[in-house]
Structure 1
């Protein structure tokens, strides 16, 4: 029986079961209250409020051609649902622009994130860190790229998939910088072009993780061998295709430890099981849908994870399915 639950006195002066026994019969099979068995209009009294239980949320790509207002609805959803904390999986700004536009993009993100009540941990995406200058700006604003934290004996390992950032030709930079404008004029043409230009189901060829970062991750895993679960968070789903070498090394370091990996980047939801561990590629929270002719995985959402004794319980909350306390759609 939960020590914080106090059952009121029954209106008829006694709690009885269908056979007429009072609730203090030691043979009653129902939950105990203050040392006595109690029967009542409830299924059971095993309330899930273990102190090691907690919930956190993931929010995914805002950009890669942001659709106005969608990410803002994601922030409003987090404020309604009240997670202990949230993690954003990268691509907050459009990027691939000159320094003034990048600075303006981050100022816009600051305004969007200002209403968020929960702590928010950031994962760098390829639109956020795309060259040396944008990397320096990230570091000046956020202090670090790859990082880790531990909460209630659960390890959160955040990877940087742009380490180092790719060397793009001026022509490629210009094309990426112009994509939002093209999308505003002809969104279907841009969707088709984006879909066909990248092997979305394969290993992400733009991804890079330095030897220093991989060794750091291996060290963090070794130093936190006593955790009950490990979450590995990255922008690009490095487990796809043959798998990025960094993921193979991280899996080796984890050994048989239970873990879950999350990524964004593709703007299309897909969950797979690899060696008994769940790997989830999130859909977007405002970024362009990349599979317009296949509804599978196409939805804007946040991902809600409740950590319990038997592991994480994962739910996806689509933004169009939430309304506030007055019954209004999220603005």
Structure 2
């Protein structure tokens, strides 16, 4: 990686580890494309994430960005956490395309997961610049964890899924817990973003030093704009005089919103469990074509299994003027 393109907070000066793979092209001029990958987990659907990686290879993209939740996670045993990351990291490096990661709640949801993230990837928020485009990659996850009983249930299902990846989450849950899977959650209950003061100070400094960019992307796992959140609102204020796009994941349901004259995109999923039914309940990638410094976006639907076409243009996301 060309380190002149990368920006890491002083809080992570203790480590040379970074949450990305590969190297960006050293010279970049003109138009280019990149791909954003949705949530993989919460009960990964067998083979869909791998299909997404194969599809990304065919899109002739400069790099990939993941929006978080690459592992089932929520482990309290370091060995199990490292073992799952070994499997996923092998898949990510095997793509052969530079790839940048955003931390999600499954990746970061226990003290053990946070420790393992730092041991494997170092920083949990950062920024980078590619040509005239600036990318802010935030950490929206609070440093908390579910109670012991809930964690034990989650881990039993995770172990069953990892040993039997062909099963659906509902099947694994029934086998591991001996009950029917009956989720009781709402979007409001799922969203609990946290952005600390150190992050805000870091992003403020990055934005001040890169006022000349043509477009800014803010990547964050949780759609923080859906709850009153003073820290996120302050981050929006820092972006107010720029042309920018915000992209999140977490809810596993594609949704595009206009806010403050900008696009806020909540990704669907790339292999993750279905959470809410409707048109946005799809497995997809987001292909972003930077043309004259302006993003043109299209959702790439991941179709079916086996020999079906992996690249089906589902909908073009129209840019808000």
TM-score interval for Structure 1 and Structure 2 normalised by the shorter chain:
0.7 to 0.9
Contact map agreement 1:267 1:289 (CA 8 A) in 2: yes
Contact map agreement 2:157 2:172 (CA 8 A) in 1: no
1:40-89 Cα deviation digits (max 9, x unpaired): xxxxxxxxxx9421100001111111111110001100111121000011
1:218-251 Cα deviation digits (max 9, x unpaired): 2211221111110000111111143x22221111
Classify 1:204/1:328 alpha carbon distance in 2 versus 1 (closer, same or farther; 3 Å): closer
- Report the more deviating stretch, 311-320 or 177-186: 177-186
Deviation at 1:170, TM superposition (A): 1.1
Classify 1:186/1:167 alpha carbon distance in 2 versus 1 (closer, same or farther; 3 Å): closer
Q: Does 1:82 align with 2:60?
A: yes
Based on CA coordinates, which of the two structures has the bigger radius of gyration? 1
Distance 2:152 2:224 in 1: 26
Structure 2 residue aligned with 1:276, among 261, 265, 272?
A: 261
Q: Does 1:210 align with 2:196?
A: yes
Gaps of 5+ in 2: 1-27, 161-168, 311-321
Distance 1:298 1:95 in 2: 23
Distance 1:200 1:246 in 2: 20
Gaps of 5+ in 1: 1-49
Higher relative contact order (CA 8 A, sep 6+): 2
The answer for the alignment partner of 1:247 in structure 2 is 232
Contact map agreement 2:31 2:293 (CA 8 A) in 1: no
Classify 1:203/1:231 alpha carbon distance in 2 versus 1 (closer, same or farther; 3 Å): farther
Distance 2:305 2:223 in 1: 28
Contact map agreement 2:217 2:246 (CA 8 A) in 1: yes
The answer for the alignment partner of 1:145 in structure 2 is 124
Contact map agreement 1:269 1:280 (CA 8 A) in 2: yes
Distance 2:120 2:173 in 1: 34
Contact map agreement 2:32 2:290 (CA 8 A) in 1: yes
Q: Which stretches of structure 1, 4 residues or longer, exceed 4 Å deviation after superposition?
A: 179-182, 185-189, 327-330
Normalising by the residue count of structure 2, what TM-score does the alignment of the two structures yield? Answer: 0.77
Superposition RMSD on alpha carbons, in Å? Answer: 2.4
More helix by share: 2
Normalising by the residue count of structure 1, what TM-score does the alignment of the two structures yield? Answer: 0.75
User: How many residue pairs are counted as aligned between the two chains?
Assistant: 269
Mapping 1:177-256, distance limit 5 Å: 177-180=155-158, 181=160, 183-185=170-172, 189-190=180-181, 192-193=182-183, 196-197=184-185, 199-200=186-187, 204-205=191-192, 207-242=193-228, 244-256=229-241
Structure 2 residue aligned with 1:135, among 100, 108, 114?
A: 114
Structure 2 residue aligned with 1:117, among 80, 93, 96?
A: 96
Mapping 1:237-316, distance limit 5 Å: 237-242=223-228, 244-291=229-276, 294-309=277-292, 311-316=294-299
Distance 1:275 1:254 in 2: 10
